[in-house]
C-alpha cells in the first residue's frame, strides 16, 4: 500500500506538534528558535545522508510502503519528512528535560541549605 510509511511519519509529526503546543514546550514558547533548530538538524542529517549515498553506504531499498518519489538517487521523499520529525522530536525532548531540570533546581539562594550554619 503506497504512502503508508509517509502517512505514519506525518501522523507522528502531527502528534508531536499537538503535544508540543498543548504543553507549550518549544514551538509556542520560541517559534523562530524551534524552527531554526529543526531545519538545521534536518539539513545536517540530509548532508549526512548525501555523504552516505555518495560513498555507497546508504542505498534505497524497495518497499511497497514508499510513495515512489525520490528527491535524489537513493533518497526517498519519506526520508526528508523523517529527518524533520527526528529533529523536531529532539527539540521537544530537550525542552521537556530542560523544563524538568529547571523545576527541580532551587529557585532562590534562600532555598539552598547552608551547611556552615546551625
List, for residues 23-67, the tens digit of each pLDDT value: 999 999 999 999 999 999 999 999 999 999 999 998 888 888 999
Is the pTM for the entire model greater than 0.75? yes
In a domain, 116, yes or no: no
Average confidence (pLDDT) over 105-117: 61
Q: For residue 115, what pLDDT is reported?
A: 55
In a domain, 112, yes or no: no
In a domain, 34, yes or no: yes
In a domain, 111, yes or no: no
List, for residues 66-83, the tens digit of each pLDDT value: 999 999 999 999 999 999
Q: Give the 3-state DSSP-derived string for the chain, with helices as H, strands as E and coil as C.
A: CCCHHHHHHHHHHHHHHHHHHHHCCCCCCCHHHHHHHHHHHHHHHHHHHHHHHHCCCCCCCCCCCCCCCEEECCEEHHHHHHHHHHHHHHHHHHHHHHHHHHHHCCCCHHHCCCCCCC
Quote the domain boundaries for residue 16.
4-103
In a domain, 41, yes or no: yes
Domain total of the chain: 1
In a domain, 19, yes or no: yes
Q: Residue 117 — very low, low, confident or very high, per pLDDT cuts 50/70/90?
A: low
In a domain, 9, yes or no: yes
Amino acid at each position: 500500500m503506497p504512502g503508508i510509511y509517509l502517512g505514519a511519519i506525518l501522523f507522528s509529526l502531527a502528534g508531536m506538534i499537538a503535544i508540543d503546543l498543548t504543553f507549550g514546550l518549544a514551538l509556542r514558547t520560541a517559534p523562530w528558535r524551534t524552527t531554526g533548530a529543526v531545519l538545521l538538524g534536518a539539513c545536517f542529517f540530509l548532508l549526512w545522508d548525501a555523504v552516505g549515498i555518495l560513498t555507497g553506504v546508504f542505498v534505497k531499498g524497495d518497499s511497497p510502503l514508499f510513495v515512489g518519489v525520490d528527491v535524489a538517487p537513493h533518497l526517498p521523499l519519506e526520508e526528508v519528512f523523517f529527518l524533520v520529525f527526528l529533529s523536531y522530536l529532539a527539540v521537544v525532548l530537550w525542552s521537556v528535560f530542560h523544563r524538568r531540570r529547571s523545576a527541580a533546581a532551587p529557585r532562590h539562594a534562600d532555598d539552598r541549605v547552608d551547611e556552615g550554619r546551625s
